[in-house]
Amino acid sequence: MGILEVKGVGKRFGGLQALGDVNLSVQENTVHAIIGPNGAGKSTLLNCLIGKLIPDTGSVMFDGQSVLGRKPHEINQMGISRVFQTPEIFGDLTVFENVMIPCFAKRDGAFRLHAFESVPKEKDLVQQAEEMLTEMNMIDKRHMHAAALSRGDKRRLEMAMCLVQQPKLLLLDEPTAGMARADTNNTIDLLKEIKEKRDITMAIIEHDMHVVFSLAERITVLAQGTPLVEDTPDNIKGHPKVQEAYLGQAH
Amino acid sequence: MLGLNSKDTSLLLVVAALTMLAPFILNPFPEGSELAQFNAGYPDLMQRFVIFGIFAIGFNILFGLTGYLSFGHAAFLGVGSYGAIWMMKLVTLNVIPAIIMAVIFAGLFAVVVGYISLRRSGIYFSILTLAFAQMSYALAYSVLTPITGGETGLQLKSTDNPIFNNLAEGEIGRASLFGMDMRTSFELEAGAWLFTFNVGYYIAAVFMLLAFYMSIRIFRSPFGMMLRAVKSNQNRLSYTGLNAKPYTLAAFVISGMYAGLAGGLLVAMDTQVGPERMFWTASGEVVLMTILGGAGTLIGPVLGAGMIKYMENIISKINDNILHQWFAWMPDGLEDFTVFLIHPFIGKGWHLTLGIVFMLVVIFLPGGLVEGGQRIGRMLKGRKKTSGGDGDPEHHPKPAPHVAE
């Protein structure tokens, strides 16, 4: 039984069957990549996982609970943190504040009226945030406004914000989309570094096959709304069906 | 001190000193001199400074922190005022229960308006709040006349007999604080100068300082940080596990209660209220105050409120005769021409002056008067420092203008 269980998920938009019958199981402490060519249904699947879309059929269970129909903040409180295509951070806040907010969210839940407390007095949370920033080599930038960071640092900051919550599942949505080669490699290195340092479950939705080969332990290949194969990277590489999906029908 | 860091403490102390010494500071010109008309140190205007300061401080908690632009905040001021005057008419002439009632009324009304308006954001939110405020105005003006007094509003009358006061038959009650009449003033003559110390002003000033202190605490709290996060990136906020709705609603209600406090204090000072207090121009005015002073800064709204109320009361007092006196030294034709040129900007034309000032501030000082102050401060500092940069030319984190300094 995996931490994330997708069973028989189907979604239809008008005449288009975006997702057919998707079954997927993400095991704890593994890096699971979901790849596929354009239009394979990756984004639809992702939106089903985070409650943005409700599938017509099937179920999505996370840690024994259904995620369907839940709001983003509820899904986060269940233990799923999400990294976006372009880093989503609080640009007007300092780097330190950016990391403090998820700490508060983890401890206090979705809302608390702590209007007369003081941020620096939360010694435990401050320590957590500082340790996280140290781990990400960003501690010397803690007083900077997040919007002033370089693109790579924004990505690191977003990772820090997700990891400081110690999520049960880290969901990455095309983390290298639209990046130059050098940035892509930096992101891959960052993910590898994170994986080495801690036990973490990651699900990566990705278009580019090469990004995930060096990173993932399991890969699911999606084509035309259905999973073609699920296997280890080595086996996927030479798989004729995968070649066909990426090179044959798609063109 | 009081749970504030040293920088905030000194800001609070400076503001406290300025408000307490305002009767001196605002009366710099000797009585009877030509410039005496620029003196703002008379009770009525000083009360307006601090009361509208409270209004703007509260508005800033919503607009400055969350970025939600309410265009109907005067409704809460009005509801607070009506609550306060009824408390005085029926229960007691003491201002404290009236003010408490004003805050409660405005808070409850803000829960309703906020709950509905916050279903939308951006311009739609603004329009919803505007609609609520105009509906409140229309109700107060006509339909609810038995409660609100309609067009004429409500005043304390000789027929009112609050249960905790023993008023003589036909006596009109006066607002008081445990027996101290709000209108009592002490005058101090020092040479050519005349300084007025008014009980009402000092009570309002104490409330303003309390309100200011609470706003500093809110700005520095985790709650305040969440509100800034709402403004910065709501998507990230929700994927971080936080529900933006209760945060924005709490900010809305808190700022509504500030408006109610201001409304209650207005009634405590002049014991009357009319529906025009809720008119949309009144809502627009607090937006102007906040932006003029510097939205999202601690002290900005108070400065903005002071500036607008000063112009409203002082510039509108200047008339052509005064101008002729000023320019009497010019040759006749030139004098008339100068007066003709300035004429549209004074008296009833004070709005024109305000508009120009507002435009200049928005264009050249997007961070408001506070940014102006900061620039001057930096210029002075820069001059003191000898040449040589900061050492690291790569990293110049640009200060976000809305973050309180």
Q: If you count DSSP H runs as helices and E runs as strands, how many of each does chain B have, helices first?
A: 17, 6
Q: Which amino acid is at B391?
A: G
What is the ipTM metric for this complex?
0.90
pLDDT at B390 over 50: no
Question: Which residue is associated with the tokens 């999202």?
Answer: B296
The residues of A whose Cβ lies within 8 A of any Cβ of B are: 50, 71-73, 76-77, 81-82, 84, 88-93, 97, 100-102, 104-106, 109-119, 122, 143-145, 147-148, 161, 165
Please tell me the distance from the alpha carbon of residue B102 to that of residue B264, in angstroms, as a whole number. Answer: 5
pLDDT digits (tens, 9 = 90+) for B241-293: 999 999 999 999 999 999 999 999 999 998 889 999 999 999 999 999 999 99
Please tell me the distance from the alpha carbon of residue A157 to that of residue A89, in angstroms, as a whole number. Answer: 8
Q: pLDDT at position A235, please?
A: 83
Q: Are the beta carbons of B221 and A148 separated by less than 8 Å?
A: no
Domain boundary among A166, A191, A214: A166
Structure tokens at A103: 């700490």
Q: pLDDT at position B394, please?
A: 41
Q: pLDDT at position A239, please?
A: 80
Q: Are the beta carbons of A92 and B398 separated by less than 8 Å?
A: no
Q: Are the beta carbons of B217 and A115 separated by less than 8 Å?
A: yes
Which DSSP symbol is given to A248? I
Distance of residue A245 Cα from the nearest chain B Cα, in angstroms = 33
Are the beta carbons of B174 and B183 closer than 8 angstroms? yes
Nearest Cα to A41, choosing from A65, A24, A28?
A24
Q: Are the beta carbons of A114 and B223 separated by less than 8 Å?
A: yes
Please tell me the distance from the alpha carbon of residue A184 to that of residue A204, in angstroms, as a whole number. Answer: 14
Q: Are the beta carbons of A116 and B220 separated by less than 8 Å?
A: no
Structural domain span for residue A124? 88-166
Q: Are the beta carbons of B239 and A106 separated by less than 8 Å?
A: no
Same domain, A72 and A53: yes
CA dihedral A118, A120, A125, A128 (to 10 degrees): 160
Mutation to test the A interface, candidates B5, B236, B247, most A Cβ within 10 Å: B236
Which DSSP symbol is given to A68? T
Are the beta carbons of B118 and B248 closer than 8 angstroms? yes
Q: Are the beta carbons of A116 and B218 separated by less than 8 Å?
A: yes
Q: Are the beta carbons of A109 and B241 separated by less than 8 Å?
A: yes
Q: Which residues contact B195 (CB under 8 A, 6 or more apart)?
A: B23, B24, B27, B41, B187, B188, B189
Backbone angles phi, psi at B354, to 5 degrees: -60, -45
Q: Which amino acid is at B95?
A: V
Instruction: From chain B, pick out residues whose CB is under 8 angstroms from the CB of A147.
Output: 400
Instruction: From chain A, pick out residues whose CB is under 8 angstroms from the CB of B111.
Output: none
Q: Are the beta carbons of A90 and B399 separated by less than 8 Å?
A: no
Please tell me the distance from the alpha carbon of residue A237 to that of residue A15, in angstroms, as a whole number. Answer: 33
Give the chain A residue nearest B245 (alpha carbons). Answer: A111
pLDDT at B384 over 80: no
Question: Which residue is associated with the tokens 């709204």?
Answer: B301
Backbone angles phi, psi at B108, to 5 degrees: -65, -45
Q: pLDDT at position B35, please?
A: 79
Please tell me the distance from the alpha carbon of residue B118 to that of residue B130, in angstroms, as a whole number. Answer: 13
Backbone CA torsion sign across B161, B167, B173, B177? negative
Same domain, A53 and A174: yes
Distance of residue B398 Cα from the nearest chain A Cα, in angstroms = 7
Domain boundary among A130, A150, A166: A166
Same domain, A129 and A139: yes
Same domain, A73 and A172: yes
Are the beta carbons of B54 and B241 closer than 8 angstroms? no
Please tell me the distance from the alpha carbon of residue A152 to that of residue B155, in angstroms, as a whole number. Answer: 64
pLDDT at B308 over 80: yes
Least confident segment among A98-107, B39-48, B222-231: B39-48
Please tell me the distance from the alpha carbon of residue B142 to that of residue A50, in angstroms, as a whole number. Answer: 50
* pLDDT (average), residues B110-132: 95
Number of domains composing chain A: 2
Give the chain B residue nearest A86 (alpha carbons). Answer: B236
pLDDT at B404 over 60: no
Q: Which amino acid is at A92?
A: D
Q: Are the beta carbons of A92 and B241 separated by less than 8 Å?
A: no
Q: Which of A239 and B54 is assigned the larger pLDDT? A: B54
Distance of residue B213 Cα from the nearest chain A Cα, in angstroms = 11
pLDDT digits (tens, 9 = 90+) for B56-111: 999 999 999 999 999 999 999 999 999 999 999 898 888 999 999 999 999 999 99
Domain boundary among A166, A186, A217: A166
pLDDT at B294 over 50: yes
Please tell me the distance from the alpha carbon of residue B127 to that of residue B280, in angstroms, as a whole number. Answer: 11
Mutation to test the B interface, candidates A92, A117, A119, A142, most B Cβ within 10 Å: A92
Select from A50, A114, A165 the Cβ nearest to the Cβ of B221: A114
Please tell me the distance from the alpha carbon of residue A26 to that of residue A230, in angstroms, as a whole number. Answer: 11
Select from A105, A116, A118 the Cβ nearest to the Cβ of B240: A105
Instruction: From chain B, pick out residues whose CB is under 8 angstroms from the CB of A148.
Output: 395-398
Phi-psi region at B156: left, alpha or beta (left = phi > 0; alpha = psi -120 to 50): beta
Q: Which residues contact A203 (CB under 8 A, 6 or more apart)?
A: A4, A26, A32, A33, A34, A49, A169, A170, A171, A172
Average pLDDT score, chain B: 88
Q: With DSSP H G I counted as helix, E B as strand and the rest as coil, what are the percentages for chain A, rounded to 5?
A: 40, 25, 35
Q: How many CB atoms lie within 10 A of CB B31?
A: 13
Same domain, A144 and A183: no
Are the beta carbons of A38 and A95 closer than 8 angstroms? no
B31: enclosing H helix or E strand: none
Q: Where does B6-278 sit in CATH, by number?
A: 1.10.3470
Same domain, A102 and A45: no
- The enclosing domain of A21 has a CATH number of 3.40.50.300
Same domain, A14 and A75: yes
Same domain, A16 and A129: no
Select from A88, A111, A143 the Cβ nearest to the Cβ of B243: A111
Q: Are the beta carbons of A91 and B399 separated by less than 8 Å?
A: no
**Domains of chain B: which residue ranges?**
6-278
- Count of A–B CB contacts within 8 Å? 121
Same domain, A189 and A224: yes
Q: How many CB atoms lie within 10 A of CB A109?
A: 13
CA dihedral A73, A78, A83, A84 (to 10 degrees): -40
pLDDT at B396 over 50: no
Q: How many CB atoms lie within 10 A of CB B186?
A: 10
Q: Are the beta carbons of B239 and A76 separated by less than 8 Å?
A: yes
Same domain, A187 and A69: yes
Instruction: From chain A, pick out residues whose CB is under 8 angstroms from the CB of B247.
Output: 111
Distance of residue B222 Cα from the nearest chain A Cα, in angstroms = 5
Which DSSP symbol is given to B274? -
What is the DSSP track for B226-238?
HHHHHHH-HHHHH
Backbone CA torsion sign across B3, B6, B7, B9? positive
Phi-psi region at A130: left, alpha or beta (left = phi > 0; alpha = psi -120 to 50): alpha
Mutation to test the B interface, candidates A104, A142, A161, A164, most B Cβ within 10 Å: A104
Cα of B57 vs its chain's centroid, Å = 7
Give the chain A residue nearest B246 (alpha carbons). Answer: A111
Structure tokens at A167: 């999520």
pLDDT tens digits, chain A, 251 residues: what are they?
789 999 999 988 888 888 888 898 999 999 999 988 888 888 888 888 887 888 999 999 999 899 988 999 999 999 999 998 889 999 999 999 999 999 999 999 999 998 888 888 899 999 999 999 999 889 999 999 999 998 888 989 999 999 999 999 999 988 887 778 888 888 888 888 888 888 889 999 988 777 888 888 899 988 888 888 888 888 887 788 777 777 655 44
pLDDT at B391 over 60: no
Burial of B24 (0-12, 13-18, 19+ CB in 10 A): middle
Same domain, A162 and A175: no
Strand extents, DSSP E, chain A? 4-13, 16-26, 31-35, 57-62, 65-66, 80-83, 169-173, 202-206, 218-223, 226-231
Which DSSP symbol is given to A94? B
Are the beta carbons of B158 and B172 closer than 8 angstroms? yes
pLDDT digits (tens, 9 = 90+) for B174-192: 887 887 787 888 888 888 8
Distance of residue A170 Cα from the nearest chain B Cα, in angstroms = 12
* pLDDT (average), residues B189-198: 84
Structure tokens at B257: 């209660």
Q: What angle do CA B29, B30, B34 make, to 5 degrees?
A: 75
Q: Are the beta carbons of B250 and A91 separated by less than 8 Å?
A: no
Q: Are the beta carbons of A109 and B231 separated by less than 8 Å?
A: no
Length of chain A: 251
Strand, coil or helix: B92? coil
B333: enclosing H helix or E strand: helix B332-342
Burial of B327 (0-12, 13-18, 19+ CB in 10 A): middle
Which DSSP symbol is given to A115? T
Please tell me the distance from the alpha carbon of residue B138 to that of residue B276, in angstroms, as a whole number. Answer: 10
